[in-house]
Amino acid sequence: MNITNIINLFRAYFIENKKKLIRACIIAFGAAAFLSTIDTASMKIFTVCFSIILAGTFYQHSLKKNNSVHFFNLSATAGEKLIHAVLVLVIVVVGVQPLLLAGAYVGTYLLQPLFFHDMHLYTLTLETNIWEQTIIISWKEYLHLFAAISAFLFGSIYFKKNAVWKTLGTGIGFLIGLAFFSILLFYIAFGNLKENLGNEMIHINYEFLGDYHYIVSTTLIAFFLSLTYLRLKETEV
């Protein structure tokens, strides 16, 4: 791994996409200010949407002929390109959190008074912990978020057009298929599922799944990053 190549990839990426990133930051700040007047907790949903759109379009922009200098013309291996992509996504996603927090405070303390005529109601809204509801603090939340980001990053290089929507549709279809498969498997194994559950014949340890859910997220991250690396290797051929 050559660090110089990764630095050159960073330089080229931010030069080519600086206008896009500036617009994204302005939209993030404005959206945070507006959404905080409605529901501060919705900011985390915005973070998820912002992150998957960024990841889902990452290689779509890189593969365009008029915007592929940092992807094709620089002498970087597939591993260096993957590390560059992961670092860019981590920096942008983590870096946008203080921007969202600033927008949330502006919306809560400057814009909300314009919408509330009842000062008692306005005072109640200020009791909300803006810090915890606006930005992602827990490492578990970051782990789940980056599992989704890794999936959309792979989708951005796997699909040629509309990668975000195709990745989202594929994911939803997979989850629906998995749900039907699970129901069928339970039916084959236990027969009438409703009747057996009523008789308490089936005991599922959901606490185990809750305690070790990070294993699933970590596995998904490793899986999709491996697929992305293999796809990048194909572009070198």
pLDDT by residue for the chain (237 residues), tens only, comes to: 778 878 888 887 888 778 888 888 888 888 888 877 776 666 778 888 888 888 888 887 655 555 555 555 567 788 888 888 899 898 888 888 888 888 888 887 777 766 665 544 444 444 456 766 667 767 778 888 899 999 999 988 888 788 888 888 888 888 888 788 877 776 776 655 555 555 444 455 555 555 666 788 888 899 999 998 888 887 765
The residue to which tokens 């997979």 are assigned: 174
Half-sphere exposure of 163 (CA within 13 A, CB side): 23
Q: How far is CA 57 from CA 74, 98, 134, 167, in A?
A: 20, 23, 24, 11
Residue 27 is predicted with a pLDDT of 87
- Helices 78-106, 139-158: axis angle to 10 degrees equals 130
Residue 189 is predicted with a pLDDT of 67
Is residue 28 within 8 Å of 50, Cβ to Cβ?
Answer: yes
Half-sphere exposure of 118 (CA within 13 A, CB side): 4
